[in-house]
Amino acid sequence: MYEGAIQDLIDELGRLPGVGPKSAQRIAFHILSADPADVTRLATALRKVKELVRFCAICHNVAESEQCRICRDPRRSDEVLCVVEEPKDVVAIERTGEFRGRYHVLGGAINPLEGVGPDNLRIRELMIRLGEGTVKELILATDPNTEGEATATYIALMVKPMGISVTRLASGLPVGGDLEYADEITLGRAFEGRRAV
């Protein structure tokens, strides 16, 4: 449609999740007319996120060093481990202020239609962590949808023989939804009212 750099930018923006062709065009023209200092900051932020951010060696949350902020915190309990799908779920649970244990980020949920099986998630790493014998309770905080439930059921079956208490967040979360969209109070209550599975 356009020539050269502006079309390249529209094409790149259009490949981002949730950005349609019209939004891509609007953002591209916004950038074109923006203050050069603002655009430089955006470009720097894009470059830095790839250079600096990596995944925590213990829980696989996003981190800027070998271990994330939560894994490095000595005041948190090693006895309670909360399993989530994505780093954004860690943020959602941290916002509730209800949880003082550690996390394990799976990197997704079991989804046969999209070719995601247990081997594509960090379930093996989870089993190794649990094998160390420190964790007394495992909280399955995967999303309240089909894939999240399937993942929770799969992990619960594997972990139960290890004699670790396995709990799932209480109902009240919007079914079929995404953990990150639950408000803090609802998610906080779901945490308090977690039940054994």
Could you say which of 28, 59, 82, 152 contacts Zn ion (CB under 5 A)? 59
Pick from 105, 97, 101: which is nearest to 165 by CA? 101
For residue 157, the minimal CB distance to Zn ion (Å) is: 25
Could you say which of 9, 58, 90, 182 contacts Zn ion (CB under 5 A)? 58
Contact yes or no for 118/154 (Cβ under 8 A): yes
Q: List the structure tokens of 174.
A: 């919007």
**Binding of Zn ion by 106 (CB under 5 A):** no
Residue 76's contacts (CB-CB under 8 Å, 6 or more residues apart) are: 70, 100, 101, 102
For residue 187, the minimal CB distance to Zn ion (Å) is: 20
Could you say which of 28, 68, 106, 121 contacts Zn ion (CB under 5 A)? 68
Instruction: Tell me how far CA of residue 107 lies from CA of 36, 70, 99, 197, in angstroms.
Output: 36, 17, 20, 22
Pick the closer one to Zn ion by CB: 68 or 141: 68
Could you say which of 25, 61, 151, 167 contacts Zn ion (CB under 5 A)? 61
Q: List the structure tokens of 186.
A: 């609802």
Which residue stretch of 36-44, 66-74, 158-166, 182-190 sits at the interface with Zn ion (rule: CB under 5 A)? 66-74
Which chain residues interact with Zn ion by CB under 5 A?
A: 56, 58-59, 61, 68, 71
